Structure 1
């Protein structure tokens, strides 16, 4: 569990009323537009959580004693302390509902960042488990259960309805591919090209034999086919073919 405490947030002890037991936990979301910048910046998550508390304390109608939730969960998997353990929530709608369940809010909203990450879901489960060890019962509900609201939004509520399962963090290691399956179609095409280039290289490397008839190698003997091949042109041809083969091999190896 990755817990960010009130003291780490620079907050004093919560002034919320004490409450040692509850039926369970209700899950919430913010219900407003939330910036997707939170996904890449954990400091933005902390700033968002502090802004929520500031807005609650400034709400003279509700007259909150502290941020309304017991905990928040951010996209990076951190559980952020709010009212904390054994404190009555101020988030569930009315006094009776607040007494029935503790509250955890996921830092997602109705637009922008709407989908909880697996890390956020794990952090919510961390909070639920922590609250269960400190007076919460087994119930896990959404804010809309018992109160007319869209909270905690579609994605989070669907997760709650599935029983709020902890996401699996380990994936099975795939079996190594069979040897005959290790080559992609593109690699097979390269291999065929490589074979053709090698064949071309062998053909070009075969220099026609010539017979040394006499020391003068006069025009008559050359006209009869006993000539020295044009080695300079042949070498250039061989080099070009070899370069093509080496390039194909490099591409086949992925280097």
Structure 2
């Protein structure tokens, strides 16, 4: 729980984290707060996909809104190339209604890998526009449209920037599908993975890349984009049909890649926790 950052501090936090930012005219005062509904205190960051194609059109929609939902629809639009376009500030129409149990878990940062599954949605839930920063990410949201490495990196940096500014952990970064039971965004990457990437970044100096390992230390590993592309490219329709018929996942290359990646990232997270505990014990 915290008071929202000023627009200037918000911008400074993004830039300090190494984000590439484009400021659109009037973004600092383009807000829905004038509707009479408040913004703040804030508790976290919600990540969305736009279901749109083309950066210019996406930015325009997120700034101006559409029939039935006036803009701004987020604070920043994260384009395919990783550029963050600032289109509004203050209260924005991005999160809508969501589950109060999720809000409590995010506020307390008290959950495990995922927040509790939401049981309410946009029309019957708690006001999320008041409680969260929001980033709309340019993607068709069909599970096929790729998430370039530069875009995933920008999402990670934006989440880390606000967590660092507020003293939050990565558990304050959630997806829209984790907030509302009638949403499925972002689709194409896993939010637990994104929180892991944000946590790793928060453990480093703001804006700096991870240290380059020596050849002896360098792991043989897939990049985030490699994993995303492999999962999307190699899902087998036959295995999907068999899985549906059997009522469970029939192993295929998709399942193998996802399962292996989840296991490895889980082990890496556990090792990091152990090293942190050993370091704290040593210092005490």
Q: TM-score, normalised by structure 1?
A: 0.50
Computing the radius of gyration from Cα coordinates, the structure with the larger value is 1
